[in-house]
A and B are shown apart, each in its own frame.
Chain A
């Protein structure tokens, strides 16, 4: 596989469920990001990891819990979500130290919370 992959592509869950989103990058990058994309809102940065260390948490509710075991993998653990959390969740990666922080995105996970 090449680029940035995300699984699952679609997820429907109830408010009491626990699920996880997975992201994997095959680009040799060392920074990874989670974004939330909702209708009528700009892309919202959620979390940033550099060399497996979390460097940014953009005031995200604790029902979203990220995990970055290595520079190639990123997870987003979900529990007791709300219907307003329904959105497209995008993962991206970039090369720390590259001049312009150009980011490469995965195809996203379309999440629906019932």
Chain B
């Protein structure tokens, strides 16, 4: 089992604030994915990062893959209530299965 620790576990912020969520592991991954899960639904893929040091932007969300491909971060600018949900990182050691992180539950208060 390849453990991915996410921090913080819970985060509650006001609308308009910025935040960063971290995903850390001692294992190297060939790629890393971020998912968001809303209450009552399954996780939805947001982005895949594959190159060490890579930065991808998706509107107000910025994803970074660590140089050593062991960690990743998600930064949200000017958070909105619609960003509320459970954020999951998932690492792929190879071409097969994914290992999911412990999750960060984000609440954005209007």
Residues of A within 8 A of B (CB): 4, 42-43, 45, 48, 56, 90-92, 97, 99-108
Least Cβ distance of A41 to chain B in Å?
Answer: 8
A101-B100 Cα distance, complex, nearest whole Å: 13
Enumerate chain B residues within 8 angstroms of A48, measured Cβ to Cβ. Answer: 97
Least Cβ distance of B34 to chain A in Å?
Answer: 11
Contact check, A101 vs B98: say whether CB atoms are below 8 A apart.
yes
Contact check, A106 vs B42: say whether CB atoms are below 8 A apart.
yes
Enumerate chain B residues within 8 angstroms of A45, measured Cβ to Cβ. Answer: 97-98
- Interface segment, one of B14-22, B44-52, B68-76: B44-52
The number of inter-chain residue pairs (CB within 8 angstroms) is 52
Contact check, B103 vs A42: say whether CB atoms are below 8 A apart.
yes
Residues of B within 8 A of A (CB): 4, 30-31, 33, 35, 40-45, 48, 50, 88, 90, 92, 95-98, 100-103
A29-B102 Cα distance, complex, nearest whole Å: 27
Contact check, A107 vs B45: say whether CB atoms are below 8 A apart.
no
Enumerate chain A residues within 8 angstroms of B90, measured Cβ to Cβ. Answer: 103
Contact check, A107 vs B50: say whether CB atoms are below 8 A apart.
no
Overall SS of chain B's interface: loop
Which of A56, A100, A101, A105 is B44 in contact with, Cβ under 8 Å? A105
Closest A residue, CB atoms, query B33: A102
Contact check, A101 vs B95: say whether CB atoms are below 8 A apart.
yes
Least Cβ distance of A6 to chain B in Å?
Answer: 8
A102-B34 Cα distance, complex, nearest whole Å: 10
**Residues A100 and B97 in contact in the complex (CB < 8 Å), given A107-B41, A108-B41, A108-B42:** no
Pairs of residues from A and B, 6 with the lowest C-beta to C-beta distance, nearest first: A105-B42, A43-B100, A100-B31, A100-B48, A105-B43, A42-B102
**Residues A43 and B88 in contact in the complex (CB < 8 Å), given A100-B31, A102-B48:** yes
Which of A4, A91, A101, A104 is B96 in contact with, Cβ under 8 Å? A101
Of B42, B97, B102, the most chain A CB neighbours within 10 A belong to B42
Which of B40, B43, B88, B97 is A101 in contact with, Cβ under 8 Å? B97
A4-B33 Cα distance, complex, nearest whole Å: 19
